Amino acid sequence: MAEDKFLYYPKADLSQESAIRLDMGRIFLAESRIGEMSIVNAMKAPELEACILQGYLDASDFYSKVELELYTIQTLLDRRKSILLIDKMADLLNEKKLVKSNPSGNSDLRKAIVDLDPEYGILTEKQNHLEALHTYLKGKMMAFGMAHSAIERLIERRSFTPPVNPYNGPYKG
């Protein structure tokens, strides 16, 4: 059960260390406590807000780490595509007897060669996983931000201070 709080995502590079572990414990805890907003009072609100903000901070930290991996993987994809197009394209097209007049082939052939490259495929798959995780964490951050704002509004409304009428002083009902 303790392993359920960890989320793994692929590293951008093709090294042996293939995954990075994120400890989602505080994020999951904060998310599970969002429902407490319906019963929060002025005494409990600071603790609930602290929990939700910690979840937000963790999600924000992980979001930026995943974003860095996305930038890295895009660079690796661009490099791999350049290597294929410049160094290997002509040989691959000649090998498959697909060259007619243009030695570098047409755009469809170039795309097919790139898409069929195993390394490019691995990098693309990792990029897809990272983009999904990036979107997931962004959603968590948005939910925590909305929960924080909602708690503050709820506390304002449940305050024991009577509203002030700017014309006559405190509201007398």
**Residue 65 within any structural domain of the chain:** yes
pLDDT on residue 130: 94
**Residue 36 within any structural domain of the chain:** yes
CB atoms < 10 A from the CB of 136, how many?
Answer: 16
pLDDT on residue 143: 95
**Residue 101 within any structural domain of the chain:** yes
The one-character DSSP state at 161 is S
**Residue 170 within any structural domain of the chain:** no
**Residue 23 within any structural domain of the chain:** yes
pLDDT digits (tens, 9 = 90+) for 39-91: 888 888 889 999 999 999 999 999 999 999 999 999 999 999 999 888 877 77
Structural tokens at position 116: 């069929």
**Residue 169 within any structural domain of the chain:** no
Domain count for the chain: 1
Alpha helices in the chain (DSSP H): 25-33, 45-83, 89-95, 107-116, 118-157
Total-model pTM: 0.78
**Residue 43 within any structural domain of the chain:** yes
pLDDT on residue 80: 93
**Residue 165 within any structural domain of the chain:** no
26's CB contacts (< 8 A; 6+ apart) are 51, 54, 55, 58
Residue 95 is part of which domain span? 2-11+18-159
8 A C-beta contact, residue 148 and residue 53:
yes
